[in-house]
Structure 1
Amino acid sequence: MASNRSKERSLSMVLVPTAGGSKRKKMGELTGYQLGVIGALFLSVASSVSIVICNKALMSNLGFPFATTLTSWHLMVTYCTLHVAHRLNFFDNKKIDMKTVILFGILNGVSIGFLNLSLGFNSIGFYQMTKLAIIPFTVLLETLFLKKQFSQKIKFSLFVLLVGVGIASVTDLQLNFVGTVLSLLAIATTCVGQILTNTIQKRLNVSSTQLLYQSAPFQAAILFVTGPLVDQYLTNQNVFAYKYSPIVLGFIIMSCLIAVSVNFSTFLVIGKTSPVTYQVLGHLKTCLVLGFGYTLLHDPFTERNIIGILVAIAGMGLYSYFCTLENKKKHTIDSSGSQIKDKDSNAPLLGHEEKGSFEVKKATKDSLV
């Protein structure tokens, strides 16, 4: 009898710290994940706002209008940087099916081309509407094909956000058939590309760095071939006949270096969060760019811009708040399920604790198997 009680005490002493240690480990992993997400969001915002300001100075002030070709250089520099990092063992490369990588790279390259063509064939206002349409179209695609559910609160916060960005950035809406078709193609390819960015990372268990490293050459190749043609059609200038001054070269190099951070953070944010969250972040960047443009570059700024930005910030705040509530609710449900599972898995062991030590060891061995 005394022997059985001794076994009971010793067994409980073993089980309780294990459960507590598992809980602390899960909390530590959750905290680390949240810090990683915050870091990715901050890196994305900082690098994107920086590159917009740099490219605006390059294109508007220095007269270098070749946006699509510049993007191909961005991707080539990104690939070269990641290749050096891989050679220095900063990350391990994980092979992905070549067909998947090629199609994914081409799709992302084509989406960039369509976005630039949409800007060339449409007014600024209609182009901004095209970018706003990416969020609801992404929600639609994820609901239909990935069976993802969005609560009414999330949808409402996204609506407030889109209204705010629309007020702040959309001015004239001049429609034409070719521009509308290009905008629809840009929306479709961008949404599918961003959804695939998230899906490939999670289903194939690859990091954002590994996916970007393998897909960047194909994105760069498609834009390097088509970029000069697209730019010449839109600007009536040849990128290879352009006279490059030292200051223009300096800004191009700076833009390419910042682009490494932009491309990396894009894949990182989409992989850690979702395509919709990335688009919400993109509209935050739009508001910041408008603010920086007024502060640093003395762009025209009206009361409408201010009201729109404030409404957009309110929408972003609501989206973040509702997402946090839903994540906490999901985490609570997962934790409850995990505790019930642990209790069920321990029940047979506790139920047989008054038997011999051989049966306890046998039960433990069976539970591990």
Structure 2
Amino acid sequence: MVETSRFQMGVIGALALSVASSVAIVICNKALMSNLGFPFATTLTSWHLMVTFCTLHVAQKFNVFETKSIEMKTIVLFGILNGVSIGLLNLSLGFNSIGFYQMTKLAIIPFTVLLETAFLKKQFSQKIKLSLFVLLLGVGIASITDLQLNLVGSVLSLLAIATTCVGQILTNTIQKRLNVSSTQLLYHSAPYQAAILFVSGPLVDQFLTKQNVFAYKYSAVVSAFIILSCLIAVSVNFSTFLVIGKTSPVTYQVLGHLKTCLVLGFGYTLLHDPFTERNIVGILIAIFGMGLYSYFCTHENKKKQSSDSLTASQDSYTTEFVSMSHEAE
């Protein structure tokens, strides 16, 4: 009982950290890119990952956590896959309209459900599927404004969805199958993710923005916001691996859409972004869907725990009965 309570508190803490840090970095990056004119998103992400690795390396040296050996092939492929997915998402944004990009992000949840059902034999109840549908409907109403299709953008979006889904499923699977913590997995994989983006980032950014990140004139204010963004990113990257490891890729995506709603709200409140009745209705529907998802997940987890406890009790009783029978003989 105490162990279950600690686990639940750990999950709540991971979710809260993920939401707070993600909203903070979106606001910071929006100020950096929109207000200060620094458009190099992919290169910035490579810096985020490098600072994350350096921070974890220092923490490891001070024995904050212990490293655990993981097969090099697994880590390299995992790191490259995650790095490629980030680059593809940024390219998708560059080649598609904002509305189609939002559709791409929404499609990650049903694709993840499909992949986990097909390859991991995971079962999702009709109630869970209904709550996810309500959530996606709400986020779609709140965030999708236009839909413009083109062949290259559609292909990039499909590749971005596939790599993101597989990467997040592997984040959960590797932690559980190899018995490694989120910190250990992030520590080992961050350098490879950073390396992929450090090489490809400037090329992707130059292709999308027609500007060279190395020719950009860095002011003191821009440099300060970049440093702040990198520091917040340490928390974002850590909480991402933590949430996926403690819950599931689908729950992490649900949390991601909560962040979208919060960002829309903060954007209107703090940055005075345009806000319509449609945004409000969409956010309310999305929050209702999240509430349903949370309720159904909690209810099903309690049923599963009760069933597991009953099975364990029956096994214990059977073992004890067999033991007594042998003693009587």
Give the TM bin, normalised by the shorter chain: over 0.9
Of 281, 297, 319, the residue aligned with 1:345 is 319
Q: Report the equivalent of 1:14.
A: none
Say whether residues 1:289 and 2:263 are aligned partners: yes
Cα deviation, residue 348, structure 1: 3.7
Of 106, 120, 127, the residue aligned with 1:132 is 106
SS of the equivalent of 1:298 reads coil
Of 151, 156, 161, the residue aligned with 2:125 is 151
Q: Distance in 2 between matches of 1:109 and 1:197?
A: 13
Q: Distance in 1 between matches of 2:225 and 2:106?
A: 29
Q: Report the equivalent of 1:228.
A: 202
User: Across the two proteins, how many residue pairs are aligned to each other?
Assistant: 329
Say whether residues 1:31 and 2:5 are aligned partners: yes
Q: Distance in 2 between matches of 1:262 and 1:142?
A: 24
Q: Report the equivalent of 2:66.
A: 92
SS of the equivalent of 2:67 reads coil
Q: What are the residue-to-residue correspondences of 1:145-294 with 2, within 5 Å?
A: 145-294=119-268
Gaps in structure 1 of 5+ consecutive residues:
1-26, 360-369
What code does the residue aligned with 2:138 have? G
Superimposed CA distance per residue, residues 188-220 of structure 1 (whole angstroms, 9 cap, x where no aligned partner): 000000000000000010000000000000000
Gaps in structure 2 of 5+ consecutive residues:
none
Cα deviation, residue 350, structure 1: 4.2
Q: Report the equivalent of 1:315.
A: 289
Q: Distance in 2 between matches of 1:283 and 1:170?
A: 13
Query: After TM superposition, what 4+ stretches of structure 1 lie above 4 angstroms from structure 2?
Result: 349-353
Q: Report the equivalent of 1:20.
A: none
Q: Report the equivalent of 2:278.
A: 304
Q: Report the equivalent of 1:55.
A: 29
Cα deviation, residue 352, structure 1: 6.5
Cα deviation, residue 54, structure 1: 0.2
SS of the equivalent of 1:173 reads coil
Say whether residues 1:77 and 2:47 are aligned partners: no
Q: Distance in 1 between matches of 2:136 and 2:247?
A: 19
Cα deviation, residue 349, structure 1: 4.3
TM-score for the superposition, normalised by structure 1:
0.88
Superimposed CA distance per residue, residues 28-64 of structure 1 (whole angstroms, 9 cap, x where no aligned partner): 1111110110000000000000000000000000000
Q: Distance in 2 between matches of 1:182 and 1:335?
A: 46
Superimposed CA distance per residue, residues 294-352 of structure 1 (whole angstroms, 9 cap, x where no aligned partner): 00000000000000000000000000000011000000000001111111222244456
What code does the residue aligned with 1:66 have? F
Q: Distance in 1 between matches of 2:246 and 2:326?
A: 44
Cα deviation, residue 115, structure 1: 0.2
Q: Distance in 1 between matches of 2:194 and 2:254?
A: 26
TM-score for the superposition, normalised by structure 2:
0.99
Q: Distance in 1 between matches of 2:64 and 2:146?
A: 48
What code does the residue aligned with 2:7 have? Y
SS of the equivalent of 1:261 reads helix
